[in-house]
Amino acid sequence: MINTKIDIEKLPRHISIIMDGNGRWAKERKILRSLGHRAGVESLRNIVEAATNIGIEFLSLFAFSTENWSRPEQEVSALMMLIKEFIKKEAKRLHKNNIKILTIGDIDRFPEDVKKEINEVKELTENNTKLKLIIALNYGGRDEMIRAIKSIIKDNKNENDINEELINSYLDTRYIPDPDLLIRTSGEYRISNFMLWQAAYTEFWFTDTYWPDFTANDLEKAIVDFQKRDRRYGTV
């Protein structure tokens, strides 16, 4: 049941989430970090379902950053396995629920079997029209800008052609509206290289709750708080 305080007529079109705190959640329970990431996958499933039920059009999740490669090899391998496992297990259910899977970031560095699963689920769901689930994989805002600039130069664009519209057209998110609301879990107050360009006028909502403990109720609280804000976009 949707929180009655949510105004369905004023929903954020695009919600982004930095899913943080899996490792600390595991540490507090004296279990392996990989088990914290696995618990985080359960929260991911629940939040995707909740966002779909509420009527959110775009949901983007920061799953694996360009900086995550510096983590211990064992943890990176566990994350790769979880990404593959989640996509393989959830593909049919997501498709059945009319959810479209998109990715941002450069997945070329991923193992071939993981890339295969990613591309197959994207192809399977490409015509779906309900929630658009954007998974950020090997993504970093700075890396995205570097790749965009290189492509602009490669296409021999004149300096007079450079404007916001052109840059937007070269970003990974070129078919996705900027996030209206960005949520970060675990008590950290930074965006950690996530959607640096796109978040220019995004509203931020922070919570001390670790990602594995983040629930549909927390998502609804964030939306209710968002709907109380006055978004002026630099005007009076």
Where are the domains positioned within the chain? 10-144+177-192+201-226
Res 233: pLDDT: 79
Q: From 3.30.43.10, 3.40.1180.10, 1.20.1300.10, 3.40.630.30, which CATH number describes the 10-144+177-192+201-226 domain?
A: 3.40.1180.10
At position 143, the amino acid (one-letter code) is D
Distances from the Cα of 70 to the Cαs of 24, 73, 103, 136, in angstroms?
Answer: 17, 8, 21, 17
What is the rounded average pLDDT of the residues 196-225?
97
Indicate which residue of 68, 97, 128, 168 is catalytic. Answer: 68
Query: Is 133 within 8 Å of 50 (Cβ atoms)?
Result: no
Angle at Cα 115 formed by Cα 149 and Cα 81, nearest 5°?
120
Nearest to residue 220, comparing CAs of 93, 46, 90, 86? Answer: 46
Cα separation, 192 vs 185, in Å, equals 12
Catalytic status, residue 128: no
Express each pLDDT in 181-209 by its tens digit. Answer: 999 999 999 999 999 999 999 999 999 99
Both tokens of 224, joined, read 């209710």
Indicate which residue of 3, 7, 20, 106 is catalytic. Answer: 20
**Could you give the percent of the chain with pLDDT greater than 70?**
98
Res 3: pLDDT: 64
pLDDT over 70 at 147, yes or no: yes
Residue whose token pair is 């950020």 = 136
Q: What is the mean pLDDT of the chain?
A: 95
**Could you give the percent of the chain with pLDDT greater than 90?**
93
Res 2: pLDDT: 58
Express each pLDDT in 48-72 by its tens digit. Answer: 999 999 999 999 999 999 999 999 9
Catalytic status, residue 20: yes
Query: Is 62 within 8 Å of 16 (Cβ atoms)?
Result: yes
